Chains A and B, each alone.
Chain A
Amino acid sequence: MLTRDTQELVVSGVTFIVMGMFLGNLIFIILGLFPIIFLAISIIIGQPREVTVKRGGDDQKIWVDHQVTDEVTATVSGGVGMVTFSDVLPDNFKLDDGTNFKVIWKGARDRRETIRYTATCAKRGRFELKGVSWETRHPLQITDNALGEYPAPRTYIVQPKPLFVKRVRERKAITRIPMPMDARIKFGFPTTDFLEVRDYRPGDAYRNINWKVTARRLSANPSAFQVNEFEKEGKKVVWIFLDSASHMALGTTVRNTLEHAVRATLGFTDFYLNRECQVGLSIYDYDAHEWEGSYQRVEVSPELDAALSKVYQMEKDIEPLVPEKRKASRAAIGTRILFPDLGRKQQFRIMREMINVDIRYGGESLKEAIHSCRGHIIGTLPLFIIITMIDASKMEGLYEGIRELYKYSGKIRKKPNIIIFNVLGYKVAAQSEEEGMAADLLNFRNRPVIESLRRMGTTVVNWDPMEQSFAQALIRQRA
């Protein structure tokens, strides 16, 4: 399309020509041709026509808050003009160094330009860059800009950092965070999942000696025989229930309650997997408290109007009571359950799930989630960890869920085997001192609820991620 600017030039040229004809003046006519010749030459030269882009490096897997470095090389040919190209970063990436946007001048010769940048990934997730956007412009903007995107895919998998619980060094700091009831079993049948190579200890089977590794080490310096260690099979089961309701979004996009809950989930996973426990994971929705079984469609009540239409009505007509519309059944969101397993494979599976978890990721209520995985609970005495943000105004779902858990676990020897890990989301959201005070008030309002949960036999762990480390939160529960 012609731009307004170009049309003005053409009109001015034609005006000169008409005036020249009117006056019989050759000077005017030639001057009228001036803008037309000017435009014609610039159109013949044209704007850059070919843009190709090449991206260096490979896809990357990194931790949250770590940096990625990328390099994009663009080659421009044909025409003369300006070219911009930009590697548009996902919203949660922060550009630290370099630039992801470049403008270049393409002269008579072909031009090649490279951009490099370093960015920090502030949020977990899987981020895919599809292509590099480019734009070519005529030097005088006589013609419209040409836009396009050159395919240059790149995937970043940003993993959340687990909150590791370090080895306890002081007797005073021993926590009462329980282990599963079956944790007394120290030895189990070895599975086929390789764990590590360790020094030989008396009692190890000879067939487990790794001769290759032993020979390699002995060739360097004297050392013990090396034995292959495999994951032990055990019945120590830990179930983690992670809340993904909308209230978990409290805070900023990057630092919100859910992010801390995810890190706590990974912390628990790491802790218990390292202690040869089987860890299962289920993601539920705190707000979805109504019980709808296994998402069977609720039958609609039969239409009575048609049946009663022939009945003679003696009373005066009254305003019909409009029944409150029944809530439509919730859309069945796929169950988010990872059944208990042990070892690094399970850690990897949970990590992969944690990369994708988001608000309303799981659609089931806690009760429904427990019901969905009951087949793996029955027959074991698992430890249940519910990671959530307690909200005094919406406790129905949590109470129902705990009652459901008792059906499967019971209060054996009055030892609580349910931990409610309460992430204090209001503190996460507080940005100023006043907001911090308001958050304290809101948390204070939850105290009676927490007491009632404790009376039900659960262990409630409150965690203020802004002031406490994960380990500190667990240690404080010893009293």
Chain B
Amino acid sequence: MRIVSFIRGTELGIAFVSTYMVAVTMLQTSIFAQLRPWAMMVLWPIIAVLGMTPDLLDFLILTMVMMMSFLFWRRGDEAGFGRLFSLNMLLFFPAVLDFSMFNWVNLILPYEPSPLVQEYWVFGVGLILQATYVLLRYTVRFRLLRSEFEERGAEPADVDMVTKGQMSYLIILTLGTIVISIAVYYLTPLMRGAMSGEVTALPYPHVIIGIVGTLLIAGATIFYLRGGGRQPQRGVAGAGQPVTVGPSPPQPS
């Protein structure tokens, strides 16, 4: 099996799984339960033309989003996968609202969360979405990198080996991140109990503390990444040879 076909197949599987999971979750949210009559009204002409019963509204919506997912995958570029991610997040948002502490929706219309899925289910779907986001984001780059190496005259077998390595690395890294995220998710309630006393004693509202904490996280992340990008190259070039950092060099003759 060709490596490019394998990558595209993987992309298709990931796109379908994530869209299906998020669509199924959305269909079980409180907001969708309230919007169902509106959806029925909008989609009625299609239901009537297809000769479907109103019970199959969910199936129709599921089919539509899966088709959209397929079309975005078919484009195969970064913009297509960006739209896929936007679609998934749009479908995911109602599910998250069901588990929020602040019911902002209730300010607009009467809304009382009564989800049919559990919180861990929603969190799991969220992880799938994030994993989809990073996986698709980098598989596109892997394909572009293959083209670059081939144009520079690399052996096809070497390029295949590089792509396999990259795919393995990406999958392992994503799985590792999922494991750590799950650990953080389950450890947070435990830490909350330990830290709530300390945080409550602070003379500032929790919103300010949250914003400051977020900015600190963002700043620290960027600082950390910048440092990581300039790791010294130990003895790379032997006796005091300069090491330059920059774009790719011109192709050799």
Task: Evaluate whether A40 and B224 lie within 8 angstroms (CB atoms) in the complex, with A34-B127, A100-B252 already known.
Answer: yes
Q: Is the CB of B100 within 8 A of A50?
A: no
Chain B min CB distance to A83 (Å): 9
Q: Which residue of A lies closest to B164 (CB)?
A: A105
* Contact pick for B244, options A9, A40, A148, CB 8 Å: A148
Which B residues lie within 8 Å of A18 (CB)? Answer: 211, 214
Chain A min CB distance to B174 (Å): 7
Is A114 engaged at the interface, CB distance under 8 Å to the other chain?
no
Is B64 engaged at the interface, CB distance under 8 Å to the other chain?
no
Task: Evaluate whether A105 and B174 lie within 8 angstroms (CB atoms) in the complex, with A24-B100, A40-B224, A143-B229 already known.
Answer: no
Which B residues lie within 8 Å of A28 (CB)? Answer: 96, 126
CA distance in complex: A141, B233 (Å)? 17
* Contact pick for A36, options B97, B161, B178, B217, CB 8 Å: B217
Which B residues lie within 8 Å of A9 (CB)? Answer: 134
Q: Is the CB of A149 within 8 A of B241?
A: yes
Is A174 engaged at the interface, CB distance under 8 Å to the other chain?
no
Q: Is the CB of B177 within 8 A of A38?
A: yes
Is B239 engaged at the interface, CB distance under 8 Å to the other chain?
yes
* Contact pick for B236, options A41, A49, A102, A104, CB 8 Å: A49
Q: Is the CB of A50 within 8 A of B247?
A: no
- Total residue contacts A-B, CB cutoff 8 A: 223
Q: Is the CB of A102 within 8 A of B210?
A: no
Q: Is the CB of B248 within 8 A of A38?
A: no
Which A residues lie within 8 Å of B100 (CB)? Answer: 23-25
Of listed A87, A135, A140, A144, residue having the most chain B CB within 10 A? A140
CA distance in complex: A134, B101 (Å)? 54
Q: Which residue of B lies closest to A31 (CB)?
A: B126
CA distance in complex: A147, B155 (Å)? 21
Q: Is the CB of B104 within 8 A of A23?
A: yes
Which B residues lie within 8 Å of A27 (CB)? Answer: 96, 99, 119, 122-123, 126, 185
Chain B min CB distance to A133 (Å): 6
Q: Is the CB of A104 within 8 A of B161?
A: yes
Q: Is the CB of A25 within 8 A of B141?
A: no
Is A453 engaged at the interface, CB distance under 8 Å to the other chain?
no
Which A residues lie within 8 Å of B177 (CB)? Answer: 34, 37-38, 41
Which A residues lie within 8 Å of B149 (CB)? Answer: 84, 103
Q: Which residue of B lies closest to A152 (CB)?
A: B238
CA distance in complex: A26, B217 (Å)? 16
CA distance in complex: A143, B96 (Å)? 33
Task: Evaluate whether A105 and B165 lie within 8 angstroms (CB atoms) in the complex, with A50-B235, A146-B236, A146-B243 already known.
Answer: yes
Is A248 engaged at the interface, CB distance under 8 Å to the other chain?
no
CA distance in complex: A102, B243 (Å)? 20
Is B130 engaged at the interface, CB distance under 8 Å to the other chain?
yes
Of listed B165, B231, B252, residue having the most chain A CB within 10 A? B252
Which A residues lie within 8 Å of B134 (CB)? Answer: 9, 34-35, 38
Interface readout for B119-160 with A: 1 if CB under 8 Å, 0 if not? 100110011011101100110010001000100111100110
Q: Is the CB of A43 within 8 A of B228?
A: yes
Chain A min CB distance to B181 (Å): 5
CA distance in complex: A357, B247 (Å)? 37
* Contact pick for A150, options B131, B141, B173, B237, CB 8 Å: B237
* Contact pick for A23, options B97, B138, B188, B252, CB 8 Å: B97
Chain B min CB distance to A89 (Å): 6
Which A residues lie within 8 Å of B102 (CB)? Answer: 22-24
Is A377 engaged at the interface, CB distance under 8 Å to the other chain?
no
Is B242 engaged at the interface, CB distance under 8 Å to the other chain?
yes
Q: Is the CB of B174 within 8 A of A38?
A: yes
Q: Which residue of A lies closest to B243 (CB)?
A: A148
Q: Which residue of B lies closest to A36 (CB)?
A: B221
Of listed B97, B134, B149, B251, residue having the most chain A CB within 10 A? B134
CA distance in complex: A134, B252 (Å)? 11
Is B47 engaged at the interface, CB distance under 8 Å to the other chain?
no
Which B residues lie within 8 Å of A22 (CB)? Answer: 102
Q: Is the CB of A144 within 8 A of B158?
A: no
Please provide the chain A residues from 3 to 27 with a CB less than 8 Å away from any CB of chain B in the complex: 5-7, 9-10, 12-14, 17-18, 21-27
Q: Which residue of B lies closest to A87 (CB)?
A: B252
Q: Is the CB of B101 within 8 A of A25?
A: yes
Task: Evaluate whether A26 and B188 lie within 8 angstroms (CB atoms) in the complex, with A99-B153, A103-B158, A105-B165 already known.
Answer: yes
Q: Is the CB of B249 within 8 A of A133?
A: yes
Interface readout for B185-204 with A: 1 if CB under 8 Å, 0 if not? 10010000000000000000
Which B residues lie within 8 Å of A26 (CB)? Answer: 99, 185, 188
Q: Is the CB of B253 within 8 A of A91?
A: yes
Extra A-B contacts (10), CB below 8 Å, given A31-B123, A49-B236, A147-B245: A2-B222, A10-B218, A12-B133, A14-B217, A27-B126, A50-B234, A50-B235, A86-B252, A91-B253, A148-B242
The 4 closest A-B pairs by CB, nearest first: A24-B101, A43-B228, A105-B165, A143-B229
25 A-B residue pairs with CB within 8 Å: A10-B218, A13-B221, A17-B214, A21-B210, A25-B101, A26-B188, A30-B126, A30-B185, A30-B188, A31-B123, A33-B184, A36-B217, A41-B173, A46-B228, A50-B233, A84-B152, A95-B253, A99-B153, A101-B252, A103-B158, A140-B138, A142-B229, A145-B245, A146-B233, A150-B241
